[in-house]
Structure 1
Amino acid sequence: MPVLRIEGNEFRLGGEPFRIISGGLHYFRVHPGQWRDRLRKARLLGLNTVDTYVPWNLHQPRPRTFRSDDGLDLPAFLELAQQEGLHVLLRPGPYICAEWEGGGLPSWLLATPGIGLRTADPRYLEAVDDYLDRLLPLVVPYLATNGGPVLAVQVENEYGAYGEDPVYLTHLQERLRQGGVDVPLFTCDQPADLARGSIPGVLSTVNFGSRPAQGLAALRAHQGDGPLMCTEFWNGWFDRWGGVHVLRDAGSAAADLDEMLSAGASVNLYMFHGGTNFGFTNGANDKHTYRPTITSYDYDAPLDEAGDITPKYLAFRDVLARHTTVPDEPLPEPSKKLNLLGVRLTGNTPLLGSAGRLGEAVTGPRPLTMEELGQDFGFVLYETELREPGPTLLHFAGIADRAQVFLDGAAAGVLEREQHEAALAVTVPDGGATLAVLVENQGRVNYGQGIHDRKGLTGAVTAGGTELTGWSSTPLPLDDLSGLTFTTGGPQPVGPTFHRGEFEVEGPADTYLDLTGWTKGNAWINGFALGRHWSRGPQRRLYVPGPVLRPGTNELVVLELHATARATVDLRDTPDLGPTEE
């Protein structure tokens, strides 16, 4: 494919003037069986490029390793993009934000006390260098200079909003070049952060969601020459648990897109297709109050979570038709959807009683964090003994992020980081009791200084002012449920319980798991982790990609952390992302 060059104030591709019209599409948020469909719809919108981050934490779940299988097969995604005639903007981080768990930084970095993330800290740079040494050999063959689709590569991500460390940024630039990246490099920042996040000799681009004239003017004031580009045009937004489903008017977004293109700027839609935070991969924000992001990353994007065309898609396509050639092809119909009501979950097994089947306990004088346990996602079960009978006050110096407290297996209360809760009054029976604390990682912070976000019990626990010792810490990553044994019959369990059921389908189709009447937990279909559910909302149904289902019998497992009003769930043919602002 032709090579991108920067000449004066324009991009040139194969010697001809070129405008990048791109859309964000994260391969790791889309089932790989649907990559081709989403890429085709990007081309039909009128895009000539797609943009993707690379999640370091998924590709390198442990130090000195690298995964590129299944849904992490980045080369396969790049090949499909090229087959569709699309270019690619590659954004390998190491930090990506993206409302993604930890901003894409692997949790094992935080096992090093005092490490400076996103700085020139030698311990951090050593890990970054190893990551790039493993990633770049997979990427370099797909650079445009080698006949591939990758036109340009980003250095870091919105660094100006985090810090000011030119040594760190220069190190990343040099490592990319040493690793064989010979296509243009770029940075992106919000208008006020351009100076701190830029690198001499590297193209600066700008991010904004509205007022294009002001954003582009700020970029030009910072960078006197070079192409104007908005790398993140925020045409929608993400949702948080306990909030509302955020929408952005399609007409307003289309008008801003038209204004940008009329100014001659290049653009990347953030997002073209958001996808899903499957499993435990959602991030969180903490601006004095911790706020975890929901499972859906629909983002009110032109292509919805199921990959269906929205009114915003059509509005954007009309705008693009005024500025570029839009394919004269019919647009695809919405994907086939499954509607199946009353799926019974007849098997169950308690989580606390099954902990030994899901993880191996580590004993010590204090609770260990997830990072000390070598754990990325999920839960940790902490246990110790309370020996003094009578009323006492439990105080937790650090909870990240939600703790369910039990005395001899009976629920004693819930403490939430989001609510700034740290203390619980309990009564210890004569003879003492076993204290169990089930702590959920609800998503590591993905933005700002809060990315140094260690999980689990992160400080001392006291009872009546006396520090408790003699703890066992059992990691429960819930990445393999095959060790669970389910039983049927008996009363409906209360407390953290896995529920299992089966259902039949004739063939795969997209659907939405409706957990109305359930409280909080996670869900899996055929071993595929769909994500978190929570009656707090706004999201009320979890998206199930069609390729997850199989003809015949399918298995559904739901972890319910509290209680459910019914032993059934529904598979619906429409989404429900909850109420919106009036």
Structure 2
Amino acid sequence: MTSFTIGDTDFLRDGRKHQVIAGALHYFRIHPDQWQDRIRKARLMGLNTIETYVAWNAHEPRRGEWDATGWNDLGRFLDLVHAEGMDAIVRPGPYICAEWHNGGLPTWLTAGERALRSSDPAFLADISAYLRRVYEIVAPRQIDRGGPVVLVQIENEYGAYGSDKAYLEALVALTREAGITVPLTTVDQPTDQMLADGSLPELHKTGSFGSRSTERLATLRAHQPTGPLMCSEFWDGWFDWWGGVHHTTDVDAAASDLDALLAAGASVNIYMFHGGTNFGLTNGANHKGRYLPIVTSYDYDAPLDEAGDPTAKFFAFRDVIAKYAPVPDELPAPRASAPVASVELTPAGAWTDAAASASPAPLPATFDELGHLSALVRYDVALPPMSGPGLLTVEEVRDLAWVSVDGQPVGTLSRTRHDQALRIPAGRTLSILVEEQGRVNYDHRLGEEKGLIGAPMLDGAPLGDWTSTPLDVQAIADEVATRTAPRSGDGPHAWTGDLVLDAPADLFLDTGAWTKGYAFVNGFFLGRYWRNGPQRTLFVPAPATRAGVNRVVVLELEELLSPRAEFVRGLCLGDTEE
């Protein structure tokens, strides 16, 4: 069998110097039927290795309900990498960041009484069960057993979070006990403190950065005196958030930095080679003083765009890689033109008016207390007699709320805007529909509760006897797909329509004439849309479509300016910085 080890200056493959030229693909962000296409295109750019995180909350959204099939079939993904003649790097966390919901940690884990990412025995017990399941998949696929896996990472940028060496030691011990024999690595940003705090002497340190390669390799070498230098997250782009711009990086500058890395003999993992999509409700959020939820697209301005098409960066990187390693002569075939169509949408009635299913309680229940994994909870409370308008105040709303009195919209409360108060009219019933817009995926806000936080007040007096009704948007979309109902009044309404295709095809759904909500094709949850931008199109992967009739469902939270579903030629991810 082939060996893969760490030498004095280089990685060694069967004793010979080897430069890892990898690219990141997250299997959980790509339709499984398109995994092979994306992996093959990575090889055609000149990559010899595929790197992936493992998203714990995708595999085990509820405690004990482990799933490694379909979208979660990590074994099949690694087998496809191997079939393409490529190596693999696996980064199982348990924390992954990745602009992914809750940094990859399940909400049932973060809602508990345990110190996250630490040697807390309760936390170690839970992550041990998780990692053993992952390693059952990874261990038999290591390179010394005839598989593709050459490196496994311990934790993820831990030096930016903590310095609990006992925690890292426990992860290493568990990993080795589970049969992982390939070299183990850590990754941190190249600062003295992060590199010192985030690793152990027996682990091979790597860096994460996207520019100033020569300077940052020197910092890394100061902390990693021997062995290969590696940038295991070469940031070739960036992610977008709602209300921002679409981030891009200069192609020539990115190619120059990649050239500097490879010329120095360093190994590299391009983050991302292909970003994919935050389908469903899987986007994360950042919060560095202001809450900013991540958009549905994870295009990342990567060499392969969100739809799997090569960009200018693909060809520029390919030319750089060809100076240091063999690159196949073959190029990816051009994608067929996407069908263009305009589909009339028919109203299917209100969809947030489900009957309350729980007894009233003194305080609104959080999403976490409800064990709710979907996007919405509706809170209802009877209002006291009022002689006129009153001031509603909340401790905090996480993350966006639509407020109505007796069914009439009053206004919104937004975490991003730091809203805490709204004047409401007199009435009988106050309803507050709260959307969880994405869990923070970085730093110490991991696992924070969602919903209405604390005791809402009216003119300084607490409101009591709240009913908290969880709304599962996927289940609602499945239910409304076959119904029609006249539109009545303001507020959230569902819409349906039929798109006829000659054959399955990748599609691009333009949401620019809608306001905010969720879209589905044939029951497949495309993700969130929001006129707040920058993203305007939702990517529809071909395997989610079929020849003949394709049912479109839209769950709109505010208003469709045009009751049509427009399918356009390609991606529209918004304005960029000038």
State the TM-score bracket (shorter-chain normalisation). over 0.9
Tell me the residue number matched to 1:143: 142
The superposition leaves residues 121-175 of structure 1 with CA deviations (integer Å, 9 ceiling, x where unpaired) of: 2222221112113222122121212211111100000001111111111111111
Q: Structure 1 unaligned segments of length 5 or more: list them.
A: none
1:532 equivalent to 2:528? Answer yes
Q: Specify the code of the residue in structure 2 equivalent to 1:559.
A: L
The superposition leaves residues 449-473 of structure 1 with CA deviations (integer Å, 9 ceiling, x where unpaired) of: 1213211112111111111221111
Residue identity over aligned pairs, in percent, reads 49
Pairwise CA distance, 1:188 = 0.1
- Deviates further, 362-371 or 231-240: 362-371
Give the Cα–Cα distance (whole angstroms) in 2 for the partners of residues 260 and 385 of structure 1: 63
The answer as to whether partners of 1:517 and 1:566 remain within 8 angstroms in 2 is: yes
Give the Cα–Cα distance (whole angstroms) in 2 for the partners of residues 239 and 554 of structure 1: 29
Question: Is the partner of 2:425 in helix, strand or coil?
Answer: strand
The answer as to whether partners of 1:396 and 1:460 remain within 8 angstroms in 2 is: yes
The answer as to whether partners of 1:375 and 1:475 remain within 8 angstroms in 2 is: yes
Pairwise CA distance, 1:352 = 2.5
* Residues 427-466 of structure 1: pairs in structure 2 closer than 5 A: 427-429=425-427, 433-466=428-461
Change (3 A) 1:487 1:480: closer
Alignment RMSD, CA only?
1.5
* Residues 249-328 of structure 1: pairs in structure 2 closer than 5 A: 249-328=250-329
The superposition leaves residues 472-493 of structure 1 with CA deviations (integer Å, 9 ceiling, x where unpaired) of: 1111232323334765464575
The answer as to whether partners of 1:336 and 1:509 remain within 8 angstroms in 2 is: no
Give the Cα–Cα distance (whole angstroms) in 1 for the partners of residues 555 and 572 of structure 2: 20
Change (3 A) 1:362 1:4: farther
Give the Cα–Cα distance (whole angstroms) in 1 for the partners of residues 474 and 51 of structure 2: 29
Q: Structure 2 unaligned segments of length 5 or more: list them.
A: none
The answer as to whether partners of 2:2 and 2:146 remain within 8 angstroms in 1 is: yes
Question: Is the partner of 1:247 in helix, strand or coil?
Answer: coil
Give the Cα–Cα distance (whole angstroms) in 1 for the partners of residues 336 and 174 of structure 2: 43
Tell me the residue number matched to 1:119: 118
Pairwise CA distance, 1:494 = 2.8
Counterpart of 1:374 (choices 354, 371, 389) is 371
Pairwise CA distance, 1:91 = 0.4
The superposition leaves residues 374-399 of structure 1 with CA deviations (integer Å, 9 ceiling, x where unpaired) of: 12231111111112223211111121
Tell me the residue number matched to 1:470: 465
Tell me the residue number matched to 1:220: 221
Question: Is the partner of 1:415 in helix, strand or coil?
Answer: strand
Give the Cα–Cα distance (whole angstroms) in 2 for the partners of residues 4 and 361 of structure 1: 57
Q: Specify the code of the residue in structure 2 equivalent to 1:480.
A: A
Change (3 A) 1:76 1:406: same
Tell me the residue number matched to 1:512: 508
Question: Is the partner of 1:494 in helix, strand or coil?
Answer: coil
Change (3 A) 1:365 1:75: same
Q: Specify the code of the residue in structure 1 equivalent to 2:431.
A: A
Give the Cα–Cα distance (whole angstroms) in 2 for the partners of residues 468 and 65 of structure 1: 37
The answer as to whether partners of 1:365 and 1:471 remain within 8 angstroms in 2 is: yes
Tell me the residue number matched to 1:169: 168
Give the Cα–Cα distance (whole angstroms) in 2 for the partners of residues 64 and 451 of structure 1: 21
Give the Cα–Cα distance (whole angstroms) in 2 for the partners of residues 458 and 120 of structure 1: 29
The answer as to whether partners of 2:94 and 2:104 remain within 8 angstroms in 1 is: yes
The superposition leaves residues 168-218 of structure 1 with CA deviations (integer Å, 9 ceiling, x where unpaired) of: 111111111111111111000001111111112010000101000111001
Q: Would you say how many aligned residue pairs link Structure 1 and Structure 2?
A: 574
Tell me the residue number matched to 1:231: 232
Give the Cα–Cα distance (whole angstroms) in 1 for the partners of residues 299 and 553 of structure 2: 24
- Deviates further, 385-394 or 238-247: 385-394
Give the Cα–Cα distance (whole angstroms) in 2 for the partners of residues 360 and 541 of structure 1: 36
The answer as to whether partners of 2:352 and 2:471 remain within 8 angstroms in 1 is: no
Pairwise CA distance, 1:102 = 0.7
TM norm structure 1: 0.96
The answer as to whether partners of 2:481 and 2:553 remain within 8 angstroms in 1 is: no
Q: Specify the code of the residue in structure 2 equivalent to 1:387.
A: P
Counterpart of 1:551 (choices 541, 544, 547) is 547
- Deviates further, 555-564 or 492-501: 492-501
Give the Cα–Cα distance (whole angstroms) in 2 for the partners of residues 413 and 262 of structure 1: 57
Tell me the residue number matched to 1:132: 131
The answer as to whether partners of 1:191 and 1:207 remain within 8 angstroms in 2 is: yes
Tell me the residue number matched to 1:84: 84
Q: Specify the code of the residue in structure 1 equivalent to 2:147.
A: G
Question: Is the partner of 1:371 in helix, strand or coil?
Answer: helix
Q: Specify the code of the residue in structure 2 equivalent to 1:420.
A: H
The superposition leaves residues 311-333 of structure 1 with CA deviations (integer Å, 9 ceiling, x where unpaired) of: 10000000010000001223321
- Deviates further, 224-233 or 362-371: 362-371
Question: Is the partner of 2:440 in helix, strand or coil?
Answer: coil
